[in-house]
Structure 1
Amino acid sequence: MWAYRTPAGLEQANGALQALGTDVQIAADVEGADLVHSHTWYANSAGRLAQLTHGIPHVVTAHSLEPLRPWKAEQLGGGYRLSSWMEREAFTNADGVVAVSKAMRADILRSYPSIDPSRVKVVYNGIDIDDWKPQRDDDAVRALGIDPDRPSVVFVGRITRQKGLPYLLRAVASLPEDVQVVLCAGAPDTPEILAEVTGLVEDLRTRRNGVVWIDRMLEHREIVNVLSSATVFVCPSIYEPLGIVNLEAMACGIPVVGTKTGGIPEVVADGLTGRIVPIDQATDGTGTPTDPDRYVADLAATLNEVLADLGLAKLMGRAGRLRVESEFTWGAIATKTRAVYDEVLAGR
């Protein structure tokens, strides 16, 4: 694996410019390869430049799309226009396009209508089921401030608009007093959203105990322990092309409550491995609920339904583990990805 540094002179530049500078280095180094495969906008230009310079076929995988993440302008400023251009240039000229869900495939074709639909294939993300498996360690979770003997709702994710954390913090105010709320949440996109989340957490703590906020990046074994001891995992995202974190939770044997958006319903089987929460969303690309109060109420009600039947919750968790084992292993994903490569190379 190559290790790249931000090109000299760009250390203080906008993040999108730094990514483009690194992409130039990558494109120079892949000469002689049979095929290049880029993931997300910050690597897309490396693939596109290699395609132009060396005549190498380029496959792109969409884990998200810039036109559907307008809030990124809060983080990147003018760099959002550059990241959007980098993505558009790569996708519209790619030899093959991989979507991580059926919902993402539809988003790609809607966002970039010039792409030939026959070139867009669905290949889900996968996880290592040997790394992600039930592994309960009560002492380890106590060290993180979590009581393993109390039911818990766990959230894992970045503090960003798309993850929907503010909606969750409003919803959990309606959960039973004995239920812990465990937030493994850090890396805020902006000071503004961090301030919003901090205010909501502080307000929640004035009304209930058992609110645990872990704002550092947990080690792998720690997050596996947290998930394995949880009662239910929650994914309140308003934009989620697939949601690997849901696969990780399912692999650890716990049910998932997730929003009916993007690829989440393709991962979480409603009523079998968890529950899906309905949402009506704005069509302006933000994914914002058109009726936020209704969404918060539905999220709270669904979490309460799962928490009210712990026996059923355990059965859902076991079903989730089986689903991951049968459909989302890296072996299965690799086979499908290789088929995409073979088709692209055969068409050259």
Structure 2
Amino acid sequence: MRVGLLTREYPPDVYGGAGVHVEFLARELRDLVDLEVHCWGEGRAVGVVRHRPWSALDTANDALRTFSVDLAMAAGLEGREIVHSHTWYANLAGHLGKLQYGIPHVMTAHSLEPLRPWKAEQLGGGYALSSWAERTAIESADAVIAVSGAMREDILGCYPSLDPARVHVVHNGIDTALYRPDHRTDVLARFGLDADRPYVLFVGRITRQKGVPHLLRAVRDIDPAAQVVLCAGAPDTPEIDQEFRDLYQELSRIREGVHWIPQMLPRPEVIQLLTHAAVFVCPSVYEPLGIVNLEAMACGTPVVASQVGGIPEVVDDGKTGLLVPLDDDFEPGLARALDSVIGDPETARRMGEAGRERAVGEFGWDAVARRTVRLYREILKQA
């Protein structure tokens, strides 16, 4: 089976959950199908074709630059039997490939443009284009993969003309051989963390979706013995970046032990930080699943997360962590949940062990790949 996998992010250029998903899915798919990956970037390697936006559009809106990559990707799909696209950055390429070569198009929805109105801050008028690309692709796709049950409900709610039979749930996965506890402390020492004090850890992009301002306000009054570690970078806009910086500076003035790591760290360093955290926090206001919570659980760390989207399908409330409703009491609720975990190390240890067990038992990438290939075969039979 000759599969074309389309994505913006692919190693070494991975900055979000969708990129992590594609990286590990592709690794497993290579043993099951003839796979060719089309992604953004420069150069070409075996099984990977990289495309860059057309130079004539260097000063154009990012959505238009994306469409130029989509055209190049679609042109490169000749000879593929099925195409599988990820995120709006590649969905249009999948749709065009379907039309050009008469092959089925499968798309994985990692998020939905109608549920991310703040993207208009980043894309301006391009948000209308990204929304159009997603709608065009999703309503015409032969199959749509939702990364959680909650995501499936969101897809059908946003696109009611879509036949529910075409929407399939295949959860995100985690490589638990890679994401596992690392008890060394060299990374902690390099960033000036006190290994004898507990710390709350956030890892994610500085974007409206990830709810970082909520977190910066919530941790003002948590246990003063706790450090706060923010692995936060890649801001969507200068305005969001400035808002984060202002809140960070304010927080640093009123409590000690606040550490900001703005660069995207290598995976082994993140794993060590996850391992030693007293609690990992995910304050997202929108999250189709939240791979980062699986990463924390696989490292044996309890999770405090917002009760939104697919997060409750990952974090077992009261067993592997605590869920906080996204309501008017959200920020105080986050603070109470964080203090609860920090203040009870034995319960936190049990939650961490249960999280590791759940990640290993239910979210392996090999199973995700096999379910995906089964769907490919079903679609090809119907074509």
TM-score grouping bracket, smaller chain normalisation: over 0.9
- Three-state SS of the structure 2 residue aligned to 1:2 is strand
Partner of 2:286: 239
Residue 341 (structure 1) aligned with residue 366 (structure 2) = no
Partner of 2:58: 11
TM-score (norm 1): 0.95
Partner of 1:330: 365
Q: Distance in 2 between matches of 1:303 and 1:278?
A: 14
**Residue of 129, 142, 147 corresponding to 2:194:** 147
Report the alpha carbon displacement of residue 127 of structure 1 after superposing the two structures with TM. Answer: 1.8
Partner of 1:277: 324
Report the alpha carbon displacement of residue 79 of structure 1 after superposing the two structures with TM. Answer: 0.7
Q: Distance in 1 between matches of 2:253 and 2:50?
A: 47
Partner of 2:341: 306
Q: Distance in 2 between matches of 1:146 and 1:56?
A: 53
- Structure 1 residue runs of 4+, over 3 Å off? none
Structure 2 counterpart of 1:324, which letter? A
Matches within 5 A, 1:100-115: 100-115=147-162
* Structure 1, unpaired ranges of 5+: 281-290
Identical residues among aligned pairs (%): 57
TM-score (norm 2): 0.87
1:2-30, Cα deviation, whole Å (9 max, x unpaired): 01121231122111111111111111111
Report the alpha carbon displacement of residue 139 of structure 1 after superposing the two structures with TM. Answer: 2.4
Aligned residues between the structures: 336
Report the alpha carbon displacement of residue 317 of structure 1 after superposing the two structures with TM. Answer: 0.6
Structure 1 counterpart of 2:305, which letter? G
- Three-state SS of the structure 2 residue aligned to 1:194 is helix
Partner of 2:274: 227
* Structure 2, unpaired ranges of 5+: 1-47
1:87-113, Cα deviation, whole Å (9 max, x unpaired): 000000000000000110000001001
Residue 297 (structure 1) aligned with residue 332 (structure 2) = yes
Structure 1 counterpart of 2:379, which letter? V
Residue 82 (structure 1) aligned with residue 129 (structure 2) = yes
Q: Distance in 2 between matches of 1:14 and 1:180?
A: 40
- Three-state SS of the structure 1 residue aligned to 2:51 is coil
Q: Distance in 1 between matches of 2:52 and 2:255?
A: 46
Q: Distance in 2 between matches of 1:38 and 1:245?
A: 21
State the Cα RMSD in Å. Answer: 0.9
Q: Distance in 1 between matches of 2:261 and 2:320?
A: 26
Partner of 1:286: none
Structure 2 counterpart of 1:318, which letter? E
Q: Distance in 1 between matches of 2:57 and 2:83?
A: 25
Segment of structure 1 superposing worse, 123-132 or 262-271: 123-132
Structure 2 counterpart of 1:68, which letter? L
Partner of 2:141: 94
Q: Distance in 2 between matches of 1:182 and 1:106?
A: 34
- Three-state SS of the structure 2 residue aligned to 1:67 is helix
Matches within 5 A, 1:8-157: 8-157=55-204
Structure 2 counterpart of 1:149, which letter? D
